[in-house]
Amino acid sequence: MSLPAYPGGAGRVGCARMGVPFTPYPWESFVTTDLTVPDRTRSDVTPIQRRTLGLLFGTQIIGGIGVTIGIAVGALLAARIAGTAVAGLTQSAAVVGAALLAIPITRIMNGHGRRPGLVVAYLVGAVGAVLVVLAAVTRIVPLLFLGSLLFGGGTAANLQARYAAVDLAEPARRGRQLALIVWATTIGAVAAPNFAALADTVTGGWGLPPLAGPFAFSTAAFVLAAGVLFVLLRPDPLLTARRRAAGEAAVATPPVVDPVTTGPSAGGLPEVGPATSPGPVARRGAGMRVAWQVVRDRPAARLGVAAVAVGHAVMVAVMSMTPVHLGESHGDADVLRVVGIVLSLHIAGMYALAPLVGWLADRLGRPAVILGGVGLLLAACAVAGTAGHHTPLLSVGLVLLGLGWSGTMVGGSTLLSESVPAAVRPSVQGFSDLTMGLAGASAAAVSGFVMRAAGYPVLTLLAAIVVVPLVALALRWGPGRAPDREDDTCG
C-alpha cells in the first residue's frame, strides 16, 4: 500500500496530519475481511486483535523452543569444533544474523504486512539450523558461522512478533499485550534447554555427532511456526491498523476550501485546497534512514531504542559465556544437565514475569520500568561476578539478569511502538532490532575474548559499566513523562 512519508525535521507530527489514502495491493484481498476497511471502530478490531494475540502466543511457544534449544548448546558446539574464543564469535554470528535480517524482514512487513515477514524469518532460521547440523558433521568452521548467522532468523521472528501484538492494541493495554507475547516464549524456552540432552540422545541414533541434535529439533520448530502463521494469521494486523488509521485521519482532516485559489470543480463540488493535499509518498517499505530520522526527532523513541539495545547487550554478554564458565567446573557427563537448569532459570527470569512487567509499564510508566530493569541488571552482574563456581549463586545472578532484560525490553519496546507513526512503525521497530542485534553481537564477540583473557568476573564488571549511561538517559527523560498523545491514533 502507498505509505505517507515521514516529514523529517523538528516537531511532532501526528498520523492524522500526515495521512494519505492507502491504496491496497491487488493481492491483499485474500488477507482482508470486512473488518479491515478504514471506517471501522475499536469494537470491530477487537476480535481481530484477540485472534492475533492467540496465534502469536502459540507460535512464540514453538519458536521459543527452536531458538532456545540451539542457544543452550551453540557455544559448547562451537567450542568443541574451533575453541573457546570462537564460541563467542558463533554466538555473535547468530545475534548479527537476527540484527541484519531485521532490515529485509521489516521491509517485507512495510510493504506486505506482518505475516509474510514473520514466515520468511522463521524459514531462514530453519535453513540456518540445517547448516549448523552439517557443520557439526563436517567440522567446517565457515559453515558453522553461516549457519549461525541464518539461525538468527528464528530470533528475528520472535522479536518482531512482540510488535505485531500492539498494532491493534488499545493505548492503555499496550504494555500488557506486548508483554504477553514476550511471556509466551517462557513455555517453550524454559523447557527447551532441558530437552537438549534428549535431542542429542535421539539424534545420536541417526549418526549425528554430539550437540548437533538440538539444531535438528530447531529446524522442525521453525518450519512448524512458519506454517501456522502462513495459514492462520489473517487478516494481517499491521494492514488492518493502517487502514483504520487512514480512516481516522480522513475523519479528522476534512477537505479545506481556499476561496481565493480554488473554485467549483467540474462536478460542481468545491476543490480541495492545499491544506489537504497529500504529502510525498514514501517508498513501499521505508528504509533505515527514514527510521533513524524518526528516532532522532523523538526523545521517547530514542530512550526506547537505547533501553532495548543496552539491556540486550548486557544480557547476551553474560549469558552467552555462562555455559563455558560452567563447563570449567563440570565434566562432560553432567555439563548439559547443569547448563540446562541454569539457563532454564535465566529464561524464566526473562519471560515468566513479563505480564507483571507489562502491567507495571501501563501503570507506572515505561521509563520507570526501564529504570527498574537497569537496577536489576546491575545487581545481576554483581551476583554472577562474585559467585565463582557456586552454581546456586550463579543461578540467582542469571535470574536477576533475565528480570533486568525483561524490564528494559518490555518498557523500551512499548515506549518505542507508541512514540512513532503507524506509517513508519515497522521500519523504526526494525531499526531498533538492528541496533539491539549489533549491540548484542558486539557484546557476544568481545565476551569470548574477555572470558579467555581475564575470566568471568571481569566480564560481568565490564557488562555493568555498559549499563550506567542508560541510567542518565532514563532519568533525563523522566519516569512520569508520557509520549506524544498524537501518536496514539496510529493504530
pTM of the model: 0.74
Tens-digit pLDDT profile for residues 436-458: 988 887 887 788 889 989 899 99
**261-274: per-residue pLDDT in tens?**
344 433 333 333 33
User: Which one is predicted more confidently, 86 or 33?
Assistant: 86
Residue 434, Cβ density class (10 Å: 0-12 exposed, 13-18 middle, ≥19 buried): buried
Q: Taking Cα atoms as reference points, which of 419, 297, 300, 301 lies closest to residue 11?
A: 297
Q: Which set of grid coordinates corresponds to residue 4?
A: 505517507
Integer CA distances (angstroms), 258 to 41, 253, 322, in order: 31, 15, 68
pLDDT exceeds 60 at position 312: yes
Q: Which helix (H) or strand (E) holds 156?
A: helix 141-164
Q: Quote the mean pLDDT of the chain.
A: 80
Q: Which span out of 84-98, 274-288, 330-344, 345-359 was modeled with the highest average pLDDT?
A: 345-359
User: Cα–Cα distances in Å, from 227 out to 230, 231, 236, 311, 491?
Assistant: 5, 6, 15, 31, 27
Residue-level pLDDT at 479: 52
Instruction: Give exposure, 153-169, as e/b (b: 16+ Cβ within 10 Å).
Output: bbbbbbbbbbbbbbbbb
Tell me what the mean pLDDT of segment 130-154 comes to.
93
d(CA 42, CA 35): 10
For the ranges 33-42, 211-220, 323-332, 373-382, which has the lowest average pLDDT?
A: 33-42
Which pLDDT band, with edges at 50, 70 and 90, does 279 fall under? Answer: very low
Q: How confident is the model at residue 252 (pLDDT cuts 50, 70, 90)?
A: low
The H or E element spanning position 146 is helix 141-164
CATH code of 45-244+285-489, in short, is: 1.20.1250.20
The residues spanned by each domain of the chain are: 45-244+285-489
Its sign, for the CA torsion 344, 345, 346, 347, is: positive
pLDDT of residue 273: 33
Between the ranges 236-245, 303-312, 385-394, where is the mean pLDDT highest?
Answer: 303-312
Residue 86: pLDDT over 60 = yes
CA distance 181 to 413: 12
Task: Quick: pLDDT tens for 349-401.
Answer: 988 899 999 999 999 999 999 999 999 999 999 999 998 888 899 999 999 99
What is the model's pLDDT at position 470?
92
- Cβ-based burial of 482 (10 A; exposed 0-12, middle 13-18, buried ≥19): middle
For residue 282, list its beta bridge partners: 3
Of 185, 241, 182, 178, give the one whose Cα is nearest residue 46. 241
Task: Note the pLDDT of residue 35.
Answer: 42
Q: Rounded distance, CA 377 to CA 369, Å?
A: 12
| Cβ proximity of 173 and 45 under 8 Å | no
Of 250-264, 414-428, 431-445, which gets the smallest average pLDDT? Answer: 250-264
Measured CA to CA in angstroms, residue 23 lies from 234, 240, 346 at distances of 19, 13, 46
Comparing 184-188, 250-254, 420-424, the range with the smallest average pLDDT is: 250-254
Q: How far apart are CA 232 and CA 108, in angstroms?
A: 18
Q: Categorize the per-residue pLDDT at 33 as very low, low, confident or very high, splitting at 50, 70 and 90.
A: very low
236-268 residues labelled b (16+ CB within 10 A) or e (exposed): bbbbbbbbbbbbbbbeeeeeebeeeeeeeeeee
User: How far does CA 213 lie from the centroid of its chain?
Assistant: 26
Using pLDDT thresholds of 50, 70 and 90, give the confidence band for residue 286.
Answer: low
Does the pLDDT at position 18 exceed 80? no
Q: What is the pLDDT of residue 481?
A: 58
Grid coordinates belonging to 307: 533501553
pLDDT category at 5 given cuts 50, 70, 90 is very low
